[in-house]
Amino acid sequence: MNPAFFPRILLLLTLALLSACATVVDNATSQLTDQLGTAILNQNDPETVRDGAPAFLLVLDSLAAGDSKNPELLATTAELYAAYGTLFVTEPERAARLTERAFDYGQQALCASNGATCGAQDLRYQEFLDTLDQLTKADAPALYSYSLAWLAQIQSNAGDMSALSKLPRAKAALERVATLDPDFRSADVARYLGVVATIRPPALGGDFPAGKAYFERALELSGGKDLSVPVDYARYYARTLYDRELHDQLLEAALAADPVAPGLTLMNTLAQRNARELLDGADDHF
């Protein structure tokens, strides 16, 4: 059977769904994105997600085009483009295109959530911060997706100094999420702030004491269920400081854990693969 058969069927069924009346489409859109998003996150075979995700992304493109003022839909699309571009795409130019698209959706989501933020990424730094101050708790989900997509876009353009120069803005946006709603995706926010603090070595502006605190906080908040936390802790903090003992301890704990957890299975499976690669290459690094 042609391996592209099921993605095509998914796309055709969704397009047929879109031809229904407006009320049904609104309800079906929310249900479809929620259910497919959950199915992706609970998948323990990353290759299935890698092969099927492009069809889902096209579906989200079509849904977003028809509902361009829906911050939830736009935020979901931004996050999935960011995840696909950073986790499954190895060609640098393609990853850059996909994460740029993710950031565009993130901007649209935040603008739809709060009109004061439209075009905020182009403001001067202090004006950008002033705009963030205008946001409310209701804007936290859109701001999170915006921040996440921006970090993905920066990561995919790591050799571009103009992209890297935007890192303080993405960091400020993520910190604002934590201020607006301390309970919203708190473990993820702490983990990403830990990555931001340690993605550069200390001599180039990295804040490793803050990074360590963020990673420890993320470990606590996740209850050890999100294996991306110890892997990122090892990759960005322990490796950069050449702390072999902490590095191996974190990665071995990740490998020993059960990767199956609601909403985390896919990411945990990928995290364990990364943990094994980092351990296998540890002798060369240290």
pTM: 0.87
Question: What are the DSSP calls for 172-240, one per residue?
Answer: HHHHHHHHH-TTTTHHHHHHHHHHHHHSS-GGGT--HHHHHHHHHHHHHHHTT--THHHHHIIIIIITT
Residue 16 lies in a domain: no
Residues 248, 162: one domain? no
Closest by alpha carbon to 26, among 80, 72, 81?
A: 72
CA dist., res. 19 & res. 2, Å (int): 27
Residue 267 tokens, joined: 């990411």
Considering the chain, what is the average pLDDT of its residues? 89
Question: Structurally, how many domains does the chain consist of?
Answer: 2
Domain assignment of residue 249, yes or no: yes
pLDDT tens per residue across span 137-186: 999 999 999 999 999 999 999 878 888 889 999 999 999 999 999 999 99
User: 174 and 109 in one domain?
Assistant: yes
Q: Which of 152, 184, 216 is the last residue of a domain?
A: 184
Please report the pLDDT score of residue 8 as a whole number: 46
Residue 70 domain boundaries: 46-184
Give whole-number Cα distances, 57 to 33, 37, 85, 115, in Å.
10, 11, 11, 26
Give pLDDT tens digits for 112-135: 999 999 999 999 999 999 999 999
Q: So what's the pLDDT on residue 6?
A: 43
Q: Let me know whether 199 and 224 are in one domain.
A: yes
Whether 71 and 201 share a structural domain: no
Verify that 108 and 172 share a domain, yes or no: yes
Query: What is the mean pLDDT of the segment spanning 18-23?
Result: 37
Domain limit, last residue, from 142, 164, 184: 184
84 and 94 fall within a common domain:
yes
Give the distance, in angstroms, between the CA of residue 44 and the centroid of all CA atoms in the same chain. 18
